[in-house]
């Protein structure tokens, strides 16, 4: 019987062959003599690599190292996730993009980008990771400028390309510096206790700061959020894979480099930038009227919270967050076309909620948050999670129960909340069982820093509540216009009347 780690190593060549076959299928589809119907064959070929990664992930129990690859459960999980999301979006695009002049090129680039991303997370060598992460970013840039005759798409691609280059060079410097100190290019050798012992305090801080810079740019964190805002000119399926499988790459990257982070100044800086991004992203999503920009603002905020989890050492929670967020955000983008019809439906008039039911929800939220906090009272992440869980339960209770009309509606609301709670804890425990041997838990920043972050989040929430109740004030107007400005693209990336459409006119 083959051990799980041996199975992982033996299946790797088959996985890579099927990945190459899916890429060759995309290249073949570029030829104009290949019928358009071949895309369905291409989709079937693309479905093979995620199926293999799922089988290996379901069986693997131990970490395995094969040459340049580090084949643990996290690597196979992320390969399966990225390739599966890519498969679903490509299948959706078969009809969605039919008739687009870049139809053939789209499938080739999409397959190339998701394939390169999957190899990135299977990499156990810094050089291999750098190569394929760079190829992933190049593929993303080309997807953004898919309609290259449109000036705005070209501008968005150029802006993204400059920032991606800065991010990639920062990662290159960090890994090269790490190699110079430890003498190893492999994760499994350079990030051991022996390798980390060779890194001085200032060297570790410098490497960590470079990694933080490399992470916050593709995650569209403040002040680098504008590239994601301008990328909405890309086709909606491109936005779906961008938000679901590529923007959230920072969580995986930080999990891989987690032994380096020990609550030092780099972790604190990451925590502050992520906290600011949560507030800004939430504000942008509230003031924008464009649906895709609302989703962009939401992604900025969600990625900020994911990076807060990483900065607090909760890497497994961050992995859970990025996967669930990816599934949720991909769904929202793919159903973006139904938003117009939903606005045309008459809104339901709800009665004023009962104060008694609202108070019950707040008490339940307080009890849940307190109980969750007492499970690990010295843990900074536990404190933030306790407050967020309690607040979420209170809000959900108000929406699903307190605002419900009649006993049946309230019972249904309570049932939904109960089911969601069970599902949350089930998923949480399942992922911890899968990833506890693959993800390192680093030291958290000092508790005073955590309290400052928590205070900023509470201040932002209070400010939002105040703004909603004082819309006629001058302060609200200033805040609204500032958030609106943050959520707008640069003037050269905006075109009121797309000139490229003139070529289709008689």
95-142 per-position pLDDT tens digit: 888 888 888 899 999 999 999 999 999 988 999 999 999 999 999 999
Q: Is residue 378 part of a domain?
A: yes
Question: Are 397 and 411 in a shared domain?
Answer: yes
User: Which residues are CB-neighbours of 147 under 8 A, at least 6 positions away?
Assistant: 101, 102, 153, 235, 500
In a domain, 504, yes or no: no
Stated as kind and residue range, the H or E segment containing 374 is: helix 355-375
Domain boundary among 84, 119, 154: 119
For residue 345, what pLDDT is reported?
52
Instruction: Supply the range of the domain harboring residue 400.
Output: 351-493
Identify which has the larger pLDDT, 334 or 211. Answer: 211
* 8 A C-beta contact, residue 486 and residue 280: yes
Query: pLDDT at position 120, please?
Result: 92
What would the two tokens of residue 301 be?
Answer: 């905020």
Count Cα neighbours of 463 within 13 Å in the Cβ-side half-sphere.
Answer: 17
What radius of gyration, in Å, describes the C-alpha atoms of the chain? 24
- The answer to whether 273 and 222 have CB atoms below 8 angstroms apart is yes
What are the Cα distances from residue 47, in Å, to 13, 39, 120, 135, 224? 17, 12, 19, 21, 34
**Which residues contact residue 401 at a Cβ distance below 8 angstroms, ignoring those fewer than 6 apart?**
357, 360, 361, 410, 413, 414, 417
- Residues 203 and 322 grouped into a single domain: yes
The last residue of a domain, from among 291, 313, 336: 336
Query: Is the pLDDT assigned to residue 416 strictly greater than 50?
Result: yes
Confidence check: pLDDT of 3 > 60 = no
Task: Answer whether residue 208 is part of any domain.
Answer: yes
- Regarding whether 276 and 214 lie in a shared domain, the answer is yes
- Shared domain for 136 and 86, answered yes or no, is no
CA distance 75 to 90: 22
Answer whether 321's CB lies under 8 Å from 251's CB. yes
For residue 65, give the H/E element and its range.
Answer: strand 64-66
Do 100 and 135 lie in one domain? The reply is no
Whether residue 98 sits in one domain with residue 146: no
DSSP state of 242: I
Cβ contact 81:122 at 8 Å? no
Q: In the chain, how many domains are there?
A: 3
Do residues 78 and 130 share a domain?
Answer: no
Residues 311 and 417 in one domain: no
End-to-end CA distance of the chain: 69
SS (H, E, C) 448-495: HHHHHHHHHHHHHHHHHHHHHHCCCCHHHHHHHHHHHHHCCCCHHHCC
> Model confidence at 145, in pLDDT bands (50, 70, 90)?
confident
- The C-alpha atoms of residue 297 and residue 313 are separated, in whole angstroms, by 25
- Structural tokens at position 370: 């307190």
Whether residue 443 sits in one domain with residue 412: yes
Query: 10 Å Cβ neighbour count for 358?
Result: 16
Handedness of CA 162, 261, 126, 23 (dihedral sign): negative
Q: Do 368 and 439 fall within a single domain?
A: yes
- Do 182 and 274 share a domain, yes or no? yes
What backbone torsions phi and psi does residue 115 show, to the nearest 5 degrees?
-65, -45
The answer as to whether 343 is a domain residue is no
**In-domain check, residue 503:** no
Residue-averaged pLDDT of the chain: 81
**54-68, 294-308, 442-456, 477-491 — which one is most confidently predicted on average?**
294-308
Tokens 């129960």 correspond to 401
Judge if 62 and 104 occupy the same domain: yes
Domain limit, last residue, from 119, 144, 165: 119
**pTM for the predicted model, two decimal places:** 0.85
Q: How many residues belong to the chain?
A: 506
Give a yes or no: residue 112 inside a domain. Answer: yes
- Nearest Cα to Cα of residue 291 among 328, 250, 249, 236: 236
Mean pLDDT value of segment 446-456: 74
In angstroms, the CA 27 to CA 314 distance is: 40
Residue 289 lies in a domain: yes
The pLDDT tens digits for 57-108 are 877 765 667 778 888 888 888 999 999 999 999 999 888 888 888 888 999 9
d(CA 30, CA 105): 6
Whether 470 is covered by a domain: the verdict is yes
- Residues 142 and 165: their CA atoms lie apart, in Å, by 14
């Amino acid at each position: 019987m083959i051990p799980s780690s041996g199975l992982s190593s033996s299946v790797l060549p088959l996985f890579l062959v099927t990945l190459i076959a899916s890429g060759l299928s995309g290249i073949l589809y570029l030829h104009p003599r290949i019928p358009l119907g071949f895309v369905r064959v291409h989709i079937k070929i693309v479905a093979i690599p995620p199926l293999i990664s799922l089988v290996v992930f379901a069986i693997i129990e131990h970490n395995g190292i094969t040459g340049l690859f580090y084949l643990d459960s996290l690597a196979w999980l992320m390969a399966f996730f990225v390739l599966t999301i890519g498969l679903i979006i490509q299948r959706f695009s078969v009809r969605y993009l039919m008739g687009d002049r870049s139809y053939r090129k789209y499938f080739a680039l999409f397959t190339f980008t998701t394939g390169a991303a999957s190899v990135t997370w299977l990499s156990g060598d810094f050089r291999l990771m750098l190569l394929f992460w760079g190829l992933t970013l190049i593929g993303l840039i080309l997807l953004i400028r898919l309609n290259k005759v449109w000036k705005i798409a070209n501008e968005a691609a150029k802006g993204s390309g400059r920032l991606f280059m800065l991010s990639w060079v920062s990662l290159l410097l960090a890994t090269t510096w790490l190699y110079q100190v430890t003498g190893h290019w492999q994760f499994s050798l350079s990030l051991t206790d022996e390798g980390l012992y060779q890194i001085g305090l200032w060297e570790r801080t410098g490497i960590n700061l470079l990694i933080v810079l490399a992470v916050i740019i593709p995650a569209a964190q403040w002040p680098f959020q504008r590239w994601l805002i301008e990328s909405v000119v890309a086709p909606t399926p491109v936005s779906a894979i961008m938000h679901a499988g590529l923007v959230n790459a920072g969580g995986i990257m930080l999990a891989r480099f987690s032994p380096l982070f020990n609550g030092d100044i780099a972790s604190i800086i990451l925590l502050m930038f992520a906290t600011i991004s949560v507030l800004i992203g939430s504000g942008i999503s509230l003031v924008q009227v464009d649906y895709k920009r609302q989703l962009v603002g939401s992604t900025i905020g969600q990625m900020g919270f994911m990076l807060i989890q990483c900065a607090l050492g909760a890497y497994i929670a961050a992995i859970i967050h990025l996967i669930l967020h990816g599934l949720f955000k991909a769904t929202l983008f793919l159903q973006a076309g139904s938003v117009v019809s939903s606005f045309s439906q008459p809104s339901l008039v709800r009665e004023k909620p009962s104060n008694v039911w609202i108070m019950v929800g707040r008490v339940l939220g307080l009890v849940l948050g307190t109980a969750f906090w007492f499970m690990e009272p010295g843990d900074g992440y536990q404190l933030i999670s306790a407050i967020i869980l309690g607040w979420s339960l209170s809000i959900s209770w108000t929406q699903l129960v307190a605002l419900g009309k009649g006993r049946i509606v309230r019972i249904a609301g309570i049932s939904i909340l109960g089911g969601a709670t069970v599902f949350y804890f089930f998923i949480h425990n399942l992922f911890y069982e899968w990833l506890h041997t693959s993800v390192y838990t680093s030291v958290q920043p000092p508790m005073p820093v955590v309290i400052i972050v928590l205070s900023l989040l509470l201040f932002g929430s209070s400010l939002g509540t105040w703004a909603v109740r004082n819309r006629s004030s001058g302060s609200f107007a200033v805040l609204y216009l500032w958030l609106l400005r943050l959520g707008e693209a640069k003037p050269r990336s905006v075109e009121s009347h797309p000139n490229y459409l003139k070529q289709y006119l008689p």
